[in-house]
Amino acid sequence: MGLNEAILFDALNFTLFLFMALCYAFLLKRRISKVVGRWFVFLLIITSYSSYNIMVAPVHDYNQVISRTFMYHQKIFGPFNLVDVLFIVTIAFFSYKLIYITRYYKKITFNNLGVKIVLNREFMVFFISFFSFILWNYFNDKNFDFGSEFIYYRGLIYFLGAILALRFDVNNKVSVKDIFSFFLIIDALNLVSGFVATQLFSNYVWFRYVFKVTIINQDSISSFVSIYSIVAIVAIFRYREMKKTIGGFNLFICFAILILSQINFYKGLILSMSIVIMIYSVSLVLAKKKTISLTIIILLGIVPLTLLALSKSDKFSDTALATRSVQTLDYIEYLNTQTPLQYIIGTGLGSTYPYYHQDLDRGATKEVDVESGNERRSIQVPYLNIYKASGLLGGLAYTLLSLIALFLLVKSIINEENVLIQALLLFLITRLYNGTGLMTPFPVIIFVVRTIYLIYVSKCESSQDERNYERN
């Protein structure tokens, strides 16, 4: 099938599944949509079904506007796309409503200490990056192109808009299981639509080592695919508790998504799941639980199979790793030309550094960016982008706060507290490593907010259960 025909058929596919998701949310599950927040649900669906980083080479390389990318790549005015406008309008409307109509300043309560620590970590890197970018412009006689840095600050707009659109009320008639299932069905429909799209664009999608991709939207991996994969990994350790919390059918879908993510071989997700397994294994050893032996057997089976599949692909050694090594070496070489202060506070996410070597991985850099100049902004190496954004100062703060959050999490695992909260915190701690969750030009952040909301509701439900138990 030619590219134009694939674009046409995918437009029908995209529209159909988007319509199905909206009907499910606002007709079949309107009670849950009302509890969560109707406008938040609407934003969640239209932003997650659309693609910022689509895995179709010709469309991705030139930011081509098609039905699936329209929300992100069609400029409305200046640098603002339709998603930006929607979230800016959301902030303005809900702020006006809360202050002038209801005359009520919405109190947003983050009732989990781990969430507060993670958010402090994100904001700390955020502010250091802002000032380091200003100094980088000054020392390099740049023209203070804040548009470059603003690309990464869109995440803050998405964060504020999503928080304001959410309802933080607790409804005893809607359980955590209901809300989790609601989100899961919406995301599952999204994955099915994406799978159909990869078949339509079969001649143009990427190979991930030995397989063609079956997830059309790369940002899905960083968001809900990671969440459900981590839920499934945690369920290996505490199956009964997780099944009771989210339901057996929902857990089955989570395991299916975990398998799908492994077929697509995303290194960042594999790294995160390895960290999750290590954290849980250490926690169970400290708690002296015998179930650790089964997990080790599973781990010893998964890792060799993954490495075996990767080793059969020359791309594993010649492109993916080589490209990341090149980006790292290029930035270090460039940093050596800067002032010593930049080692301490970084250069900001919006700063650029030269191509001393060419990327080998065609998915690492878009052709439109290569043609527009000989500089790049991002480093696609886990955690290294944190150093680029905020230097040693931000890196140390990020590490310290992450360790504190991990300490609280390990304590929670040992005490056998709410298993869903543990899985969601593991997502927040381990997956927001490339930049920060609050500094992404695409709304992975809306899934961060959704995760915080699920933790909030789970915490409230657990507290209510404890009070009921004490009364009895």
Question: Phi/psi of residue 102, each to 5°?
Answer: -85, -15
Band (pLDDT 50/70/90 cuts) for residue 355 is: confident
Q: What is the pLDDT of residue 172?
A: 66
* Spatial CA neighbour of 455 closest among 394, 414, 408: 408
148 phi/psi in degrees, rounded to 5: -65, -40
Query: Domain range holding 158?
Result: 3-315+382-463
The CA distance from 71 to 52, in Å, is: 8
H-assigned helices in 221-361: 226-237, 239-246, 248-263, 267-287, 292-311, 314-315, 321-335, 340-345
Q: Residue 311 to residues 87, 250, 304, 321, 362: CA-CA distances in angstroms?
A: 44, 33, 10, 12, 20
Name the nearest CA neighbour of 185 among 242, 248, 254. Answer: 254
Question: Any idea which of 9-23, 62-76, 347-361, 404-418 has the lowest mean pLDDT?
Answer: 347-361
Examine residue 221 and state whether it is found in any structural domain, yes or no: yes
Residue 391 Cα distances to 35, 130, 444, angstroms? 42, 12, 24
Count CB-CB contacts under 10 A for residue 10.
25
DSSP H or E stretch at residue 75:
strand 75-77
| Residue 224 near residue 328 (C-beta atoms within 8 A) | no
The pLDDT value given to residue 222: 83
Residue bearing the bigger pLDDT, 462 or 125: 125
pLDDT at 33: 92
User: What does the alpha-carbon distance between residue 378 and residue 353 come to, in Å, rounded to a whole number?
Assistant: 9
Asked whether residue 425 carries a pLDDT value surpassing 60, the answer given is yes
Phi then psi dihedrals of residue 460, to 5 deg: -65, -40
How much is the mean pLDDT over the chain? Answer: 81
- Give the pLDDT score at 469: 43
Residues 6+ apart with CB under 8 A from 96: none
- Does residue 394 lie within any of the structural domains? yes
Backbone angles phi, psi at 435, to 5 degrees: 90, -125
DSSP H/E element including 354? strand 353-354
pLDDT in tens, 73-124: 888 887 789 999 999 999 999 888 877 766 555 555 677 888 888 888 888 8
Q: Give the Cα separation of 102 and 35 in Å (integer).
A: 18
Residue 294: Cβ within 10 Å count = 11
User: How far is it, in rounded angstroms, from Cα 83 to Cα 339?
Assistant: 37
Partnered with residue 376 across adjacent β-strands are 353
Shortest CA distance to 263 belongs to which of 295, 294, 225?
Answer: 225
User: If DSSP codes are grouped into helix, strand and coil, which group holds residue 7?
Assistant: helix
CA distance 124 to 391: 12
pLDDT at 272: 79
- Nearest 5°: the CA angle 69, 70, 76 is 135
> What distance in Å separates the CA atoms of residue 370 and residue 347, rounded to the nearest whole number?
21
Question: Average of pLDDT values for 378-391?
Answer: 81
How confident is the model at residue 315, as a pLDDT?
A: 47
In a domain, 260, yes or no: yes
Residue corresponding to tokens 């507060």: 116
Q: How many CB atoms lie within 10 A of CB 283?
A: 21
**Residue 314 pLDDT greater than 50, yes or no:** no
Domain-embedded: residue 352? no
pLDDT band at 352 (very low <50, low <70, confident <90, very high): confident
Mean pLDDT in residue range 363-376: 59
Residue 371: inside a domain, yes or no? Answer: no
Determine contact, residues 389/439, Cβ cutoff 8 Å: yes
Burial class (CB in 10 A: 0-12, 13-18, 19+), 29: buried
Task: State whether the Cα torsion 404-408-414-419 is positive or negative.
Answer: negative
Tokens of 217: 């939207």
Looking up tokens 């090149």 gives 326
Name the DSSP letter for residue 206.
P
β-pair partners for 212: 207
Report if residue 223 sits inside a domain.
yes
Would you say residue 341 lies in a domain?
A: no
* pLDDT of 470 above 60: no
Cβ contact 231:243 at 8 Å: no
The string of pLDDT tens digits covering residues 217-255 is 888 888 899 999 999 999 988 899 999 999 999 999 999
Would you say residue 292 has pLDDT above 80? no
**Contact, 350 vs 151, CB < 8 A?**
yes
Beta bridge mates, 106: none
Contacts of 341 (CB under 8 A, 6+ apart): 135, 139
Q: Residue 306: its pLDDT value, please? A: 54
Compute how many other C-beta atoms are within 10 angstroms of the C-beta atom of residue 370.
15
| Model pLDDT for residues 443-466, shown as the tens digit of each residue | 788 999 999 999 999 988 877 655
If one counts the domains in the chain, the total is 1
Residue 176's pLDDT band (boundaries 50, 70, 90)?
A: very high
For the stretch 27-67, pLDDT in tens is 999 999 998 999 999 999 999 999 988 888 888 877 889 99
Structural domain contains residue 332? no
Rg of the chain over all Cα atoms, to the nearest angstrom:
22
pLDDT at residue 10, rounded to an integer: 95
Q: What is the pTM of this model?
A: 0.88
